[in-house]
């Protein structure tokens, strides 16, 4: 997958336009720690619980950790919203919550976060296979125990969590 990279401003600010740099393969962006974009979604059910995805123990990064419902790199020529919509039912209403920057040795990203309120019955069984709804209490415990990706930790913070 080819992705756009961006020049690193010294003082990144949320929702500020980034200056484009070079286009590279996703793996090259990671190997060279180049700034790029990702988009994330958290689905919230009627009980206020967040649907989180448990990453496989076979993953290269963040093995076995809980992460956002959906997280993916923004494709070349796309944006947060357009990239994310490809993974969702057409009628799903998304609310943009903002951005956060992550640079942890695995990723160097500016991440756009969306939230959707949705009942589990609207999601296919295949989609739900590696995902569960977690209460805020459980999620906060997982964050303290370092069982979450930084993406989920920062996303939770944007939602007003600890």
CA 58 to chain centroid: 19
What pLDDT score was predicted for residue 127? 79
Is beta strand 20-25 parallel, antiparallel or unpaired with respect to 50-54? unpaired
What pLDDT score was predicted for residue 60? 83
Q: What CA–CA distance (Å, rounded) separates 92 from 18? A: 28
Mean pLDDT of the residues in the chain: 91
* pLDDT, tens digit (0-9, with 9 covering 90-100), for 1-30: 999 999 988 788 888 889 999 999 999 999
What pLDDT score was predicted for residue 162? 64
Q: What CA–CA distance (Å, rounded) separates 19 from 137? A: 39
Q: Which residue has the tokens 């609207």?
A: 122
Q: Distances from the Cα of 9 to the Cαs of 21, 49, 139, in angstroms? A: 12, 35, 32
Show me where the domains of the chain are located: 2-158
* pLDDT, tens digit (0-9, with 9 covering 90-100), for 78-95: 999 999 988 887 678 899
User: Which 8-state DSSP code applies to residue 16?
Assistant: P
Q: Which residue has the tokens 């959906």?
A: 70
Which ranges of 21-160 does DSSP label H, i.e. alpha helix? Answer: 26-31, 80-85, 125-128, 136-144, 150-158
The third-level CATH classification (topology) of the domain covering 2-158 is Nucleoside Triphosphate Pyrophosphohydrolase (3.90.79)
């Amino acid at each position: 997958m080819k992705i756009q990279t961006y020049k690193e401003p010294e003082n990144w600010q949320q929702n500020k336009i980034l200056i484009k740099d070079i286009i590279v393969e996703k793996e090259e962006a990671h190997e060279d720690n180049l700034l790029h974009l990702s988009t994330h979604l958290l689905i919230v059910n009627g009980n206020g619980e967040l649907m989180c995805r448990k990453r496989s123990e076979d993953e290269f990064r963040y093995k076995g950790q809980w992460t956002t419902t959906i997280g993916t790199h923004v494709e070349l020529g796309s944006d947060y919203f357009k990239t994310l919509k490809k993974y969702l039912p057409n009628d799903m209403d998304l609310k943009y919550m903002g951005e956060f920057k992550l640079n942890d040795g695995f990723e160097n990203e500016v991440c756009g976060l969306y939230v959707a309120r949705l009942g589990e019955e609207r999601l296919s069984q295949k989609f739900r296979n590696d995902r569960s709804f977690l209460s805020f209490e459980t999620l906060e415990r997982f964050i303290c125990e370092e069982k979450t990706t930084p993406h989920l930790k920062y996303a939770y913070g944007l939602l007003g969590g600890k």
